[in-house]
Amino acid sequence: MITSTAQTESTDRIRSATFRQRVVSADDAVKFIHPGDTVAISGFASAGTPKDSIVALAGRIGQIRSTGTDFTINLLTGASVSSDTERLLSEVDGIALRMPYQSEPTARGRINSGTMDYVDIHLSHVAQQVWLGYYGKVDIAIVEVSGITESGELIPAASVGNNKTWLDVAEKVILEVNSAIPSHLEGMHDIYYGTALPPDRKPIEIAKADDRIGQPTFRVDPDKVVAVIRTQTPDAGSPVAAPDAVSQAIADHVLDFFAHEVRAGRLPADSLLPLQAGIGNVANAVLSGLDHGGYRGLSCYTEVIQDGMLHLIKEGIVTHASTTALALTDAGFRDLEANIDFYHDRIILRPQEISNHPEVVRRLGIIAMNGMLEADIYGNVNSTHVMGTKIMNGIGGSGDFARNGFVSMFLSPSTARGGAISAIVPMVPHVDHTEHDVQVIVTEYGLADLRSLSPRKRARVIIDKCAHPDYRPALDDYFLRAQAATGSGQTPHLLGETFAFHQRYLATGSMK
């Protein structure tokens, strides 16, 4: 229960008399949601996900389903949301369709069993597809904000994601005003209202990572707002493990590559080019490694900021970081709140259609660093499907940055499951990023620079530099026999054996 002090603070966050009159309980708010509705919610990498309304919605769905009445919704988000959100709604079988990204085991199980439809798309494409009606009408949006101004403008929370689009297109809106969000977050956001559909598009005028082109608040038609909920629940932290020997080795290879590119005159000596790093332990290790690289004046143009980026900003290594979400640990959130005045003018939060916009990524010359599940010997990357069939999380924003970045890097430990799975295989059974979008592959054993290499030369350097020693002999044998086969072609394969590694794992529990 919210205390009277918290109620006073929450009321202060709702500075509009019009919206104060629409404050209701979460249980009453979710009564506006009906079976079959398409519901768009805020949240990106857990930050900014609605809290009380999701608990209430899961309870409502579960109670109605217990009577024998079907109740499912189509759930649209920015990317992943808090694990509690997907778990609660999945446990009551409340989601019929999920889009565009997920990372929670219960939901993943429903998707892989075929009981939940899942559409995995590039994050920069979501807003356009929703505007064009690919998913039908959006019946209701639930958006977390940190406050409402006197004039009814909405102060965003710790993520922006697709919230601008949800507020624009939804027929009804529920606002969850969270007073646990530091009030000094106000003004850190840059909400751009200049996007349009073809043929009316105009250039996105971002020439530097810290350029501002929008306003600090969301707009919403007050007539669409059917309920306002007060809450005082902090965002759930995004846990990141400390760098281990493997992730540190990968980071060291990446940093050596940066030094090589500086010496070759392809990157500026001190400031490199704007960095993008996917979420996870390896990406965080790479960012932490920059602390010792002698760089200054770096910038970041990415979709998530992790704890490692806060450290770089605090140390003056990174001067500006643009993102759409703060994917921080609990300690990271405490650091942000304690030093919010310092971070305020060094971090910009944008809508994901801008943070991931291909035009901007190409113009700025982004150094894109993303994780993968596996790569084949020719440089095709699978970042989504285990054994080619079971979805892990989704493509997220990796494709937005990989295809359009100045340098496209994919990073992974060389093995998984205690060495039973090789991250380098003869052919990936699912392709998210073709060889044309993959320039550099890195494991703890080395870095394969694939630029300017033909497929056969790519295979040689990937096997030699990136494969685990336990798997190199088998990969060598496959590649040599494929080259010797009649009609081997530009990209030699033994079609009867291309998935032998995966078939062996499914049969024995190991690719060895």
- Three-state DSSP string of 29-93: HHHHCCCCCEEEECCECCECCCCHHHHHHHHHHHHHHHCCCCCCEEEECCCCCCHHHHHHHHHCC
Question: Do the beta carbons of residue 431 and residue 382 sit within 8 Å?
Answer: yes
Which residue type, as a one-letter code, is found at position 490?
Answer: Q
Question: Do the beta carbons of residue 49 and residue 252 sit within 8 Å?
Answer: no
100 cis-preceded (ω within 30 degrees of 0)? yes
Select from 461, 470, 473 the least CA-distant residue to 416.
Answer: 470
Question: Which DSSP string do the residues of 419-430 spell out, in sequence order?
Answer: GTEESEESS-SS
**Beta strands at 374-376 and 381-382: parallel, antiparallel or unpaired:** antiparallel
Select from 134, 141, 139, 127 the least CA-distant residue to 41.
Answer: 141
d(CA 405, CA 358) in angstroms, rounded, equals 8
d(CA 451, CA 470) in angstroms, rounded, equals 26
Give the catalytic positions in this structure: 303
Q: List the beta bridge partners of residue 143.
A: 175
Distances (CA, A) of 260 to 256, 300, 312: 6, 20, 22
Burial 326-361 (b: 16+ CB within 10 A, else e): bbbbeebbebbeeeeeebeebbbbbbbbbbbbbebb
Helix (H) / strand (E) element for 361: namely helix 358-364
Q: To which residue do tokens 């490199």 refer?
A: 272
List the structure tokens of 360. Answer: 């901007």
- HSE at residue 248, side-chain half, CA atoms within 13 A, is 7
Question: Do the beta carbons of residue 249 and residue 198 sit within 8 Å?
Answer: no
d(CA 343, CA 489) in angstroms, rounded, equals 55
Instruction: Label residue 418 left, alpha or beta by phi (over 0 means left) and psi (-120 to 50 means alpha).
Output: left
Which residue type, as a one-letter code, is found at position 307?
Answer: D
Helix (H) / strand (E) element for 403: namely helix 398-404
